[in-house]
Amino acid sequence: MDNLKLVNDGYGHSEGDFSIKSLALCLKEAFGENGIVGRMGGDEFAAFILSEKTEGIESIIGKKRRYIEHLNRTANKPYHIDMSMGFCECVCENSYDFKEAVDKADGKLYDNKTERKRRNKNKVSETEH
């Protein structure tokens, strides 16, 4: 989840809790019955797709985006809930190391989060001039 600390510091921990719970519901809906979504701690979630035949990750990302956009339109909050993502495909039949897959996805998450922060910082700088 992006900017949880800013929500907690600016609007209180009850708003941070609302954001976490709301994002968890969005992820649960987006990943559907073939997925498991859990909070890893702090502002990090993990999701696992358990089926051999699932819709593509791009479709799930699109659903996630639409659910979060709907949440932000309807929640009537002074802040927006958003998240960065990193993912890794893991085929269990190939004895792929699960920890390696999680570490790879985590690395992609941090790359995505860094890029989103950089873009948002540039947007703020552009509007200030």
| pLDDT at residue 128, rounded to an integer | 44
Question: Do 97 and 69 touch, CB atoms closer than 8 A?
Answer: no
**Domain boundary assignment for the chain:** 4-128
Question: Do 108 and 87 touch, CB atoms closer than 8 A?
Answer: yes
Residues whose CB falls within 8 Å of the CB of residue 110, separated by 6 or more in sequence, listed in order: 86
Task: Write down the pTM of the prediction.
Answer: 0.72
| pLDDT at residue 119, rounded to an integer | 78
| pLDDT at residue 102, rounded to an integer | 78
* Between 106 and 128, residue with greater pLDDT: 106
Residue corresponding to tokens 């998450």: 109
Question: For 113-123, what is the mean pLDDT?
Answer: 75
CATH class, 4-128 region: alpha beta
Question: For 41-67, what is the mean pLDDT?
Answer: 80
For residue 31 the two structure tokens come to: 């990943």
